Amino acid sequence: MTEHSDTAAHVGGGGQQRELTAQLTVPEMDCPSCAQKVDKSLQRVDGVVDAALQPTTGTASITYEPDRASENDLVRAIENAGYEVATVGDDAEGGSGEELGIAPPSEVLTSSRAKKTWLGAAFVMLGLLFEFFLTGQNLTVASVFGYSLHLADGLFLGAVVASGIPVVRSGYYSAKNLSLDIDLLMGTAIIAATGIGYVVEAATLAVLFSIAELLEEYAMDRARNSLRELMELSPDEATVRRNGEEVTVPTDEVDVGETVVVRPGEKIPLDGTVVEGGSAVDESPITGESVPVDKGVSDELYAGSINEAGYLEFEATSPAAESTLSQIIEMVQGAQEKKTEKEQLVDRFAGYYTPTIVVLAILTAVLPPLLISGGATVSFASLSHTFSGSWQTWFIRGLTLLVIACPCAFVISTPVSVVSGITSAAKNGVLIKGGNHLEAMGDVDVIAVDKTGTVTKGELAVTDVVALGDATEEQVLRRAAALEQRSEHPIAEAILAQATDEGSSDLPGIEAFESITGKGIRANVDGETYYAGKPALFEELGFDLSHAHLRADGGAVAEVEHEQCERENCADIENGTIAQYEDEGKTVVLVGTDTELVGVIAIADEMRPAAERAVARLHDLGVAHVVMLTGDNEGTARAIAERVGVDESQAELLPDEKVDAVEALQAEYNGVAMVGDGINDAPALATADVGIAMGAAGTDTALETADIALMGDNIGKLPYLYALSHKANGVIRQNIWSSLGVKALLALGVPLGLVSVALAVVVGDMGMSLGVTGNAMRLSRMEPDRFFDT
């Protein structure tokens, strides 16, 4: 299936050359060597600008100039590499068709290739029966160039034809595209073995390798299933109300602003806002949370969620292609295009490994017979038998080394692990935007977390109002709310909400509003300049917070009096009111002019229930240091830190100071991950080795800026993310070293006559490829601890 997108590139003379991008589905392109073969074929097409090939999804994204090449040219190039394009849409100027984004599922074990393989296997079994058990019935059926051809030989040749021709055909395309890959090596080995009369070995090699290819294709198809499940979450159709009637249309035909109807049990087809009805909605496909969320008028809905029981009507807020789910799918697919450092290292190693083993295979086939026939002797009597033999024996050993030369197992060891890990995370509400971030997260020693919105819910509320001087509590709150009208800070929302609840919705207008970064705000109210912010702001204005005056009617929380003052009701609010509120974990906001303090407002934020358990779990998993970074005051930070159980807290940090804190942690530890809201903490997230955004569902900025996004507001997913990443790193190491170790042992055993062609195929090729794939698929079974759900 294809989809086209237009881009423009500058060309000589200041003009622009239009470019198109074709999305092609190539199901049989399921290994790195396959992709390399396709890439080399595409490189010979005049007009191809770039090609992004994804064996893990069986797709090819090809950018080309339509004036120099057409989509048919691209298809022919892929076919010239020996692969079929599953479905082709219209040409560049025409329609694009639906983007699949992944190869469709295939009936691997019942395909045409499979039937030929099973036929070849039957021939081999019958041949072995006549060759070794029914020797009396193994009659001579023909004579070729003076050699007698027995019934068993005919059956073995039949197996070579049935199972070996597809291998040889693929090897031909490899040679045509100058690709030294497994198809070329195996095809060469089958032809050579047949040519010298070793039909048993040739038939065995053809059948076993064909079975290995089928099983690897089956394993890859299973790995692709996790991606297909993710892509199938959103329905293809939506029920829309148009002209007073309900009509069912494809989701990509629904316009922003249209009313969509969702009945009980149906999936929500697009992102939107509820305009009528109410229901419990299962958002687990997006956020990974297992507990349904109650939705009512004005609440947001996400495509792919499931309407549990009630009736809903909602207004579409984005087209289908731009929904949160579509962004997740797009980013998961894009993540696979970015090769990790380990993957790049393995690719470079494979570039040397295969030619080296091929040279050793040639030397193994040629040198020993020459040395033996030339009179060379082996000094150790115990090895004289091992290193003797005819040139046919050494030729077969050389062919066996050719089988071992295939680097498939360790080349796919990293990408298949990355795909498994990233798709598993996506299904559990964690979006990892690249294998490099998956690896980096598993190696961090320190996790730094922001307080507001991460450790706490970020849902602030006013708890206390203390009036100073001649002001009343109502006046304090009213002045503060007037100042906060233009602020977007959560503290402003809490003060405005409290003022509204107390009947102060008609607030005075303000002028000359100014935000003082990290400290507070300033504006003119009724012709006088007022300030609202942290105690530090008022200290900069020249206030002595240890010497303030309370209202004459008392009611103060401050209990520390200023003994030198002659006025009554004088108090040290710095060590009294402020200290007490901060010790209770509350945030203190002072309100006043540049000459007089009006009052104190205390604001509290509820800690997330899962925060304490999440931090404890991170420690259990081996995270050396968990630190909380916050712009809040020292007292509040200390109180929250003690309740949560973090190892360290740093308070009163401005955005640039959070960056400095992250850099200091990086200097002391090997790796640092930073968890924040993705917007206010953007500099610190960008500085950390891994930036993690909390509550990213529906937040485009967080999705775009963070390396990893926790789609739901659940800090309990953090231990799951670390455990998954840490395990993924372990799986990658296991896959790489086990595949290399097995290959090395087999290579050492070949000259000693300990490894047959069959063993090399079953263990070195098929066994290891299936082994690394199966090991990687273990990551897909990892799930978050459900007791963290809120």
* pLDDT(277) > 80: yes
Q: Round to whole Å and give the CA distance between 743 and 405.
A: 8
Confidence of residue 257 (pLDDT cuts 50, 70, 90): very high
Confidence of residue 188 (pLDDT cuts 50, 70, 90): confident
Q: Round to whole Å and give the CA distance between 633 and 286.
A: 35
pLDDT of residue 334: 64
Highest mean pLDDT among 192-206, 246-260, 326-340, 345-359: 246-260
In tens, the pLDDT along 75-129 reads: 999 988 888 887 544 333 333 333 446 666 677 777 888 888 899 999 989 988 8
Confidence of residue 372 (pLDDT cuts 50, 70, 90): low
Contact 637, 653 (CB under 8 A): no
**Residues 6 or more apart whose Cβ sits within 8 Å of residue 437:** 690, 707, 708
pLDDT of residue 721: 94
Residues in the chain: 790
Question: Minimal CA–CA distance to 422: which of 414, 437, 432?
Answer: 432
Confidence of residue 704 (pLDDT cuts 50, 70, 90): low
The two three-digit tokens of residue 351, written as one number: 């570039």
509 burial (CB, 10 Å; 0-12 / 13-18 / 19+) is exposed
The two three-digit tokens of residue 190, written as one number: 């089958």
Among the ranges given (353-367, 368-382, 596-610, 618-632), the one the predictor scored with the smallest mean pLDDT: 368-382
Q: Round to whole Å and give the CA distance between 260 and 283.
A: 18
Confidence of residue 574 (pLDDT cuts 50, 70, 90): low
Is the Cα dihedral 532, 534, 535, 541 positive or negative? Answer: negative
**Average pLDDT over the chain, rounded to whole?**
79
Confidence of residue 555 (pLDDT cuts 50, 70, 90): very low
pLDDT of residue 510: 85
Q: Where are the alpha helices (DSSP H) in 108-198?
A: 112-132, 151-159, 165-176, 182-195
Query: How many angstroms separate the Cα of 612 from the Cα of each of 276, 315, 457, 715, 719?
Result: 38, 38, 13, 10, 12
Q: Round to whole Å and give the CA distance between 82 and 608.
A: 56
Q: Round to whole Å and give the CA distance between 690 and 678.
A: 12
Confidence of residue 560 (pLDDT cuts 50, 70, 90): very low
Contact 774, 418 (CB under 8 A): no
Contact 440, 386 (CB under 8 A): no
pLDDT of residue 680: 62
Mean pLDDT for 198-218 is 81
Told to judge if 450 belongs to the known catalytic residues of this protein, a careful annotator would answer yes
Confidence of residue 726 (pLDDT cuts 50, 70, 90): very high
Q: Round to whole Å and give the CA distance between 474 and 524.
A: 19
Contact 138, 131 (CB under 8 A): yes
The residue behind tokens 């299904």 is 427
Within 10 A of 381 (CB to CB), how many other CB atoms are there? Answer: 8
Highest mean pLDDT among 208-212, 297-301, 466-470, 578-582: 297-301
What is the distance between the terminal CA atoms of the chain, rounded to a whole angstrom? Answer: 41
Catalytic residue among 450, 572, 677, 681: 450
Residues in a beta bridge with 259: 241, 315
In tens, the pLDDT along 442-491 reads: 999 999 998 877 888 877 888 888 888 778 888 889 889 988 888 777 78
The two three-digit tokens of residue 542, written as one number: 């020249």
Q: Round to whole Å and give the CA distance between 88 and 108.
A: 21
What is the bridge-based pairing of β-strands 708-710 and 430-432?
antiparallel
Query: What are the φ and ψ backbone dihedral angles of 338, each rounded to 5 degrees?
Result: -90, 110
Residues in a beta bridge with 1: none
